[in-house]
Structure 1
């Protein structure tokens, strides 16, 4: 029996590599990285992070959480049908074509998949792409998974979404050049679920925790593509993303609680889907309204040079400079703009001493040696860096 379970687990892993979302997510991540680099070069004549950054976020960040979720789904005996897997893949691809990764939130991918499958079952649509209609319990279990994945989305925002922001330059309503940050992530969360057909049978009398209307099972490792996209201009990007992440986690906990109740009262599954779609949309809407109403954070300052971004592996990164800090003195000279900063740097090409205001308004001193070949402006990007990049310039 143990050998059979191991073989089915291996087959389930193999099914993930046959799933189109697995490869589609890789393509999306690569295209997103290339597009980001093109925009960064247009704004700053240099790329900030390499084009494979999004691809590196795609897999490792989701493996551990996927493993934890799999323990929950396997322990509860969560069973989904092939029609659910198929519809989820179709909806995920369609929503990704909008171009905004916030629509790859589980609230939308799973939510709209549920709506379509529910209507197809109620109206008795016979579609060739769907191998029959899923059971009510299978649909209810699907929404339990929605709640769990919303919690995962919020956790991923707080853990990985608040790193490696991409700086952008834009024109304010007054026509001034201001800075902002964009975070655009896609995570692949592989989760083990059961299919309602196969050689496996219940190993314990108490299992599965919920009755999904089947007595035979097989494994499938489903790759869930979870996306997030936001632009931040009114505050430090990590603060805004963590705030949104907390709100999404709270929404996920609420949806999970309602969805579990829906295993006994199916109408609650519908309620959970409605709340998830509206709630996730409301979180994004409130952020956008807040951003539009608040003043820009990254604007030219009279008291110094505000750091919009730090180029990786540059002297600025080695010195520990952070996004949002204000450099008001360099080598003893006041630095009201980039020109003054560059002039002060030339006073000592071998050593640099900075006086910096951090995000709490406290003064700190930063100093270190400079070497031949180091970036001539330490590797910091500011709102004064708008230049026209041409193909002859390399990063």
Structure 2
């Protein structure tokens, strides 16, 4: 079957065969550019460092880490691939192109914003906005002496750039909605009254491999309707660039999944409105600047609004009068295997009521062969979870609770 496919490929003659081989070669060269891009490797170290800081904070609260250090790295380089494919498909269908100088400035803006280690600053709106501002400054003060790596920034299509910002914001919101709530990091803080409260933090990065076209090269238009946007000279090169998106959100007033998915929906709406206004700039250029201002200002507004809403809400993860609320669950632990979830409340263990971790542990020891839990689920209904325990098995279930300790917030039980 493979041989038949190859025979068909090489049997193409004339114009069709040349076009196909040209596209294949450009894709290979684009992949090489991706592998040669410094950000591809810079964010490997960045993700590992983020994992190290996360583990340090978790140990301060629970004496143990929740996830291994490599979890952040795996998340960064796998969870954004589908979003990158969707954006690339939109770019290809529309024929969006950027000068090579703007691709350099986008990478430089990403690196600069990452130095502050504030994940929310790595939003697509801020990265693209900073890159555009840098291009304006360069064109204002150094237009006559542009270095080769800034080639073409004076030919940037403002409408196309604004449209790309809208598309990237939609992809950012989609990534936040789909995966931003996964494996959030729990911690124990103190309220203004000195009482322990639980919090979940999402510090996330996504790699979006983007296919972008650059004016000038060996590729040309293959359809009468494509590219939608005019490219200089109707020839271009293909770049595959690593585009990184960051996200940060701390949640104290609700379940992390609910709060983060609400934020994701809001970002999608912001991206959609930005995209509509940007499309209008095809006919009236000032709308492109309005779209960029909206994207940046709207993203700042969403960050501030989420913080205010969360701080004004009553603490969700706090010590309860009845039972122990689950703040966190260690991966691959017995608690995860029997289906316990963050936010559920354990009221009984082996028939005994529990309100503290010491009572929880004592109840576990009453029956070394079986662990039976009475749980108030997220829907408010009571259910039961049980699991056989075996001789030599570690007594801990892998649960994290909020409880006052002398030195630290809580321990794994």
- Asked if 1:107 is matched to 2:125, the reply is yes
Displacement, 1:377? Answer: 3.5
Q: 2: distance between equivalents of 1:121 and 1:277?
A: 22
Q: Distance in 2 between matches of 1:102 and 1:170?
A: 21
Residues in 2 aligned to 1:196 and 1:220: alpha-carbon distance in whole angstroms: 11
**Aligned counterpart in structure 1 of residue 88 of structure 2, from 70, 73, 76:** 70
Q: Does 1:281 align with 2:308?
A: no
User: What's 2:13 paired with?
Assistant: none
**Rg larger for:** 2
SS in 2 for 1:17: helix
Helix, strand or coil for the counterpart of 1:84?
helix
Correspondent of 2:355 among 323, 329, 336: 336
> Partner of 1:10 in structure 2?
28
Matched, 1:181 2:203: no
**Aligned residue among 38, 42, 60 for 2:78:** 60
Residue 357 of structure 1: CA displacement?
Answer: 0.7
Q: Structure 2 regions of 5+ residues with no counterpart? A: 1-18
In the alignment, the residues of structure 1 paired with residue 172 and residue 118 of structure 2 have an alpha-carbon distance, to the nearest angstrom, of 16
Post-superposition offset of 1:307:
0.3
Which piece of structure 1 moves more, 87-96 or 259-268? 259-268
| Pairs within 5 Å for 1:242-321 | 242-321=261-340
TM-fit CA distance, 1:318: 1.2
Farther-moved stretch of structure 1 (113-122 vs 298-307):
113-122
Q: Distance in 1 between matches of 2:147 and 2:156?
A: 22
Structure 2 partner of 1:168: 187
CA shift for structure 1 position 371: 2.5
Match of 2:390 in 1: 371
2:139 to 113, 121, 124: 121
Superposed counterparts of 1:178-257, under 5 Å: 178-257=197-276
Whether the 8 Å CA contact 2:202–2:247 is kept in 1: the answer is yes
Deviation at 1:356, TM superposition (A): 0.6
CA contact (8 A) 2:173 2:267 kept: yes
- For 2:349 and 2:80, the matched residues in 1 are separated by 42
Deviation string 1:51-83 (CA, Å, 9 cap, x unpaired) is 111111112222222222222111211111111
Q: Work out the CA distance in 2 between the residues paired with 1:361 and 1:373.
A: 35
Higher helix share: 2
- Offset of 1:26 from its aligned partner? 1.5
TM-score normalised by the chain length of structure 2: 0.90
Using the TM superposition, give the Cα deviation of residue 4 of structure 1 relative to its aligned residue in structure 2, in angstroms: 1.1
What SS does the corresponding residue of 1:59 show, helix, strand or coil? Answer: helix
Please tell me whether the aligned partners of residues 100 and 152 of structure 2 are also in contact (alpha carbons under 8 angstroms): no
Contact 1:210 1:263 in 2 (8 A): no
1:133 is displaced (CA, Å) by 4.5
Q: Is contact 1:137-1:213 (8 Å) kept?
A: no
User: Aligned residue for 1:19?
Assistant: 37
Pick one of 110, 113, 119 that aligns with 1:95. 113
Deviation at 1:144, TM superposition (A): 1.4
**What number of residue pairs does the alignment pair up?**
392
2:65 to 47, 70, 95: 47
Residue aligning to 2:16: none
- Please give the secondary structure, in 1, of the residue aligned with 2:136: helix
